[in-house]
A = this chain, B = another copy of it.
Amino acid sequence: MRFTSEQRLDDAVLEREFSLGEIPGILWTPASTSTSTSTPVPLILLGHPPLGLRKMYPRLVARARHSAAEGFATATIELPGSGDRPRWPAAEQARADLRRAMDAGEPVSDEIVDALVLPLVEKAVPEWQAALDALLSLPEIGGPVGYSGGVISIGIRLSVVEPRIVAAAFFAGSFVPRAMFEESRQVTIPLHVLLQWDDEGNDRQAALDLFDAFSSKEKSLHANMGGHTGVPQFAGDVAAQFFTRHLK
């Protein structure tokens, strides 16, 4: 991991861009955390949709600031095929098929969802794990580790295969392949699941079924009014409390 830039945000947060091989990423730490004297802080991995880090930056930095105020480091990496990373023909094809189906008002087939999500999960999860290796080697970052938001199927797979992740907040707002419903039964860590009740791009019943499938002894579903991007501010506060309960 190589840091490529560094800046302070309002004296409260240290933001550092990094490269992990070909993968760009950003690490945010509370400005009070110095490498020499402070106690290492817990880490939350910030998931996001595959729209590119640059586009997602305003929302990511808002989450990072909020988390830093609670004493957490946060980090994110660019997803494969997004931002400046090389395009990937099969994924481009799947996105085009999705767009065509939605524009035509047709139901999105299982085949499209599988082609869109499953290869992304296969590629992204080992990258998040490699990022975790690098991040946890920094003296200012300890554990435990949480995962928050983004493509829910990536979060599900990470929760199953990565024992260092001890709690996760999912956003039930994306297409979920049938295979991931099966896989979700293997999730046992504490979960906080956000659902936008009137999310135009999300099947509410599928989200409820997915929530039901998780085997976690502690899981909470928080449904709020509004569409995909209308998550109310207070819902973010409650998610922050979830991580404070489980990572501190």
Contact = CB atoms under 8 A, between A and B. Distances in A.
Contacts of A219: 197, 224-225
A236 interface: no
Contact of A234 (B225, B237, B241): B241
Contacts of A232: 218
A208 B204 CA distance: 11
Greatest chain B CB density within 10 A among A211, A217, A218, A242 is at A218
A217 B198 CA distance: 12
Interface string A71-98: 0000000000000000000000000000
A218 B198 CA distance: 12
Q: Is the interface of A mostly helix, strand, loop or mixed?
A: mixed
B223 A218 contact: no
Nearest to A242: B234
A223 B225 contact: no
Interface string A214-226: 0011111111110
A238 interface: yes
Nearest to A191: B225
A220 B222 contact: yes
A245 interface: yes
Interface string A227-247: 000001011011001100100
A228 to B, nearest CB: 17
Interface in A89-128: none
Nearest to A245: B234
Given A220-B223, A234-B241, 14 more contacts: A197-B221, A208-B208, A211-B223, A217-B225, A218-B225, A219-B224, A219-B225, A220-B235, A221-B221, A222-B222, A222-B223, A234-B245, A237-B241, A238-B238
Interface of A: 197, 208, 211-212, 216-225, 232, 234-235, 237-238, 241-242, 245
